[in-house]
Amino acid sequence: MTDREKSIVIVSVFTAKGDMIELEKSIKLALEKGVTVNEIKESMIQLYAYCGFPRSLNALGILFKIIRNILSEGR
């Protein structure tokens, strides 16, 4: 597995567990490793069927919060 693939797996694990604190950290690391926002978003959308809509929706909220912060910083 590449680092990017491992990052997607880690994001998926924390999404499934509902661990939003670790999820936020793992999303930031995944983005640094070159995972795209769309790849992260798609994995979260796929997960709703397996771990429930609320957890996926909460995870998407964390992702969008991170995106807003990145855009407000001008990166």
Looking at the 3D structure of the chain, how many domains does it have? 1
d(CA 48, CA 16) in angstroms, rounded, equals 9
* 48 within domain boundaries: yes
Provide the 8-state DSSP code for 36.
-
Q: What is the CATH number of the domain that holds 53?
A: 1.20.1290.10
Residue 47 counted as domain residue: yes
Per-residue pLDDT tens over the stretch 58-72: 999 999 999 999 999
Q: Read off the pTM.
A: 0.90
**What does the block give as tokens for 57?**
């929706």
Is 9 a member of any domain? Answer: yes
pLDDT less than 70: residues of the chain: 75
- Expressed as residue numbers, the domain containing 39 is 3-70
Is residue 75 domain-resident?
A: no
